[in-house]
A and B are shown apart, each in its own frame.
Chain A
Amino acid sequence: QQQVKQSPQSLIVQKGGIPIINCAYENTAFDYFPWYQQFPGKGPALLIAIRPDVSEKKEGRFTISFNKSAKQFSLHIMDSQPGDSATYFCAAKEGQGAQKLVFGQGTRLTINP
């Protein structure tokens, strides 16, 4: 059962554009939503994360938008650069119980020069 649905699977954007990656969830017990960035041959690196009590969080060029009623959240990358080309995973975690991190299927992002 896929608990976090991520789209698109792949995305190509010109340098300076704003790629947007979307995720949707169904489990209302999720209370922590991180995004990970993974380069080839490397492990996932925590990029930015949000909790459902806020609707937006910015860290540098990366912004998470969160819509609790729609159970959706998205990652925006401002002024995208070729160095941002990587695979991005959204994830979600419950605040109680096993607290396992549930990942989306990933988005392969390419930023063309």
Chain B
Amino acid sequence: DTEVTQTPKHLVMGMTNKKSLKCEQHMGHRAMYWYKQKAKKPPELMFVYSYEKLSINESVPSRFSPECPNSSLLNLHLHALQPEDSALYLCASSQVLSQPQHFGDGTRLSIL
């Protein structure tokens, strides 16, 4: 079991739905990340939070909206997604930006 917990494990949603992905870590890490991973490809960075502030947005479409309510929790709000957004969404955390990143097991998202 990883120390970065992501819920739900699987999510199926229509293109008009609004849903949220959740990520939690209790390791005291102050940097948290969202990645998108398509099949047989490496993870692609989406967002980085450092000390609860957004430090990197990799030109992600506005239908993805991150939120970091506190140092242990990271959310990714989803709205009006497209079929090509179907992927594994991974959360990671590290003590600070310079330290190794540890990944959760992801949320498998399918857009109908």
Contact = CB atoms under 8 A, between A and B. Distances in A.
B103 A44 contact: yes
Interface residues of B, number: 22
A46 B102 CA distance: 7
Contacts of A95: 98
Contacts, number: 48
Contacts of A41: 105
A43 interface: yes
A105 B41 contact: yes
Given A98-B56, A100-B56, A46 B101 contact: yes
A49 B97 CA distance: 16
The 5 closest A-B pairs by CB, nearest first: A103-B42, A43-B103, A43-B105, A99-B97, A44-B103
B2 interface: yes
